[in-house]
Amino acid sequence: MGKKKMVAAAHFSKERVFRVFLVWFCFWGLLSLTCAGRLSASRQNFEVHKHLRRLNKPAVKSIQSPDGDIIDCVHISKQPAFDHPFLKDHKIQMNPSSVPEWMFEENKVSEKPKERINPVTQLWHRSGVCSEGTIPVRRTKREDVLRASSVKRYGKKKHRTVPLPRSADPDLINQSGHQHAIAYVEGGKFYGAKATINVWEPKVQSPNEFSLSQLWILGGAFGQDLNSIEAGWQVSPDLYGDNNTRLFTYWTSDAYQATGCYNLLCSGFIQINSQIAMGASISPVSGFHNPQYDISITIWKEGHWWMQFGNGYVLGYWPSFLFSYLADSASIVEWGGEVVNMEEDGHHTTTQMGSGQFPGEGFTKASYFRNIQVVDSSNNLKEPKELNTFTEKSNCYDVEVNKNDDWGHYFYYGGPGRNPKCQ
């Protein structure tokens, strides 16, 4: 064989070996990536399954709600709260140690026929009830957990969402994507609050946005150690997988970082009521120039922080040891609406707050909070001395406070989001 042919053959042989090596390298690389992907998916499935087992306790009875929810009637001693290490030997307190006089009083409602307010219920009640000794728990589904950014973050707020009415830099607040229209009191010690909230079903533009109406019980600084107890109604496709209006609660003792969660999605809140389910759909809701429906929520300090829904439904309590600043009292109370504005198309969201109408539209059009009160150190309900208001962008969502004999301190609030003056 000639020298040139030998060189060419050697070159061909090396090239062939390289190609074979490259093919095998790519094959094993792809196989590794595939295996890594499968391992990652398997690990995620395991974590989701483990989390679902932790949240969905064995049910005495299960109820299929018309909206697709499954409500599990769980024995009161088996509820998620008792996964908390400090609650392993906790003796459930079935009632506050002392019963305030106002607990079973009827709300004041105007005698004018047009302002008659109707009571609301929860959708699952159409299909059954839970017996005494159990609590209704909305069953968490696999797809609920998968919508979260991670299994660990499921049931937790993504950002600090408390409005900062005293902030000197409103633009700093807007960066979080959350906007508010609220009334608030500060500058004292508060041992709870009450309000009756008009229930609507606002339109939410994007699945990762929400619209809610609630009250906040706050303690500490608006930094890393904020304590907050919250309750109201919300529309949150990301959390619930639909656009239904739902009753919710939330708590945190470290400004939404690691502690706390919505409803019963972590250990903390101890439920004692067998008739109301946290996170379940509220029905019916208010309509334009149609019957108006509202819910009354009271949170007050009696050893623990207790919550009442309507008249007579004491839902349960947040043990005081969960908190630092709220272990004694609150320093700020807020009432109002909140939305997430993701500006996904470069414009302000069309997500509605409240009814989607501005406050000036009034009764049967705008959403309201009425009979706004705070709880003093003697567990008496008092009208707030000075009710302030706050909103980041009043052209998008606004709030107007007023007072009369029937509704006491009240306000209309809300808005449509994007409009000619809000882009």
How big is the CA angle at 145 (ends 140 and 149), to the nearest 5 degrees?
155
Q: Which of 174, 186, 192, 199 is nearest to 340 (CA)?
A: 174
Report how far apart, in Å, the C-alpha atoms of 3 and of each of 8, 9, 14, 31, 407 are: 9, 10, 17, 42, 105
Q: Which of 201, 230, 302, 334 is catalytic?
A: 230
Q: Confirm if 210 and 339 have CB atoms less than 8 A apart.
A: yes
Asked if residue 401 has pLDDT above 60, the reply is yes
pLDDT at 295: 95
What does the pLDDT look like over 187-197, one tens digit per residue?
A: 899 999 999 99
Facing residues of 71 across strands?
63, 138
Token pair belonging to 38: 């499968």
For residue 190, the surrounding DSSP H or E stretch is strand 178-190
Q: Confirm if 213 and 232 have CB atoms less than 8 A apart.
A: yes
Q: Which of 201, 302, 334, 338 is catalytic?
A: 338
pLDDT at 389: 97
Could you confirm whether 400 is annotated as catalytic? no
* Ranges of each domain in the chain: 64-159+178-414
Confidence of residue 370 (pLDDT cuts 50, 70, 90): very high
The identity of residue 11, as a single letter, is H
What does the pLDDT look like over 222-262, one tens digit per residue?
A: 777 899 999 999 999 999 999 999 999 999 999 999 999 99
Give SS3 for 174. Answer: helix
pLDDT at 98: 77
Cα separation, 388 vs 368, in Å, equals: 16
What does the pLDDT look like over 110-157, one tens digit per residue?
A: 333 345 566 678 999 999 999 999 999 999 999 999 999 899 999 998
What does the pLDDT look like over 304-346, one tens digit per residue?
A: 999 999 877 899 999 999 999 999 999 999 999 999 999 988 8
Could you confirm whether 230 is annotated as catalytic? yes
Facing residues of 283 across strands?
121
At 231, phi and psi to the nearest 5? -160, 145
How big is the CA angle at 167 (ends 182 and 248), to the nearest 5 degrees?
40
Token pair belonging to 109: 């409602």
For residue 417, the surrounding DSSP H or E stretch is none
pLDDT at 72: 98
pLDDT at 412: 98
Question: Would you say how long the chain is, in residues?
Answer: 423
